[in-house]
Amino acid sequence: MGASTYAASLPFKSVALDGLSAIYHGASGATHVVAEPVPQILEALGGDTLTLAELLARLGADYDLDDDAEAGLSARLDELVALGLVIAR
């Protein structure tokens, strides 16, 4: 995709429930029930606008990432953009 930066669509609320998290997304009024790594990605984005590399670096500082994490993160971000939880620019 042509997007170069990503930001979380604020405001949202995330509540951890056993293995999943329930997220209320203010812009859409929708509730999503999401799995790891979504809450972690949103938390890493915080209120900032980041490139894929910057976001990957932030996640890498807190977690041990799997092989080919960049492709995985890119795919997750595309899904989050489709849901509306992340804004790509």
Which spans of this chain sit near another protein (rule: CB under 8 A)?
13, 15-22, 24, 26-38, 40, 59, 62-66, 68-69, 71-73, 75-76, 79-80, 83-84
On the 0-12 / 13-18 / 19+ scale of CB atoms within 10 A, 42 is buried
**Shortest Cβ 47–another protein spacing (Å):** 19
Residue with smaller CB distance to another protein, 4 or 27: 27
**Shortest Cβ 87–another protein spacing (Å):** 11
Q: Which amino acid is at 23?
A: I
Give the integer Cα–Cα distance in Å for 87 and 27: 11
Number of neighbours of residue 43 by Cβ within 10 angstroms: 14
**Shortest Cβ 48–another protein spacing (Å):** 18
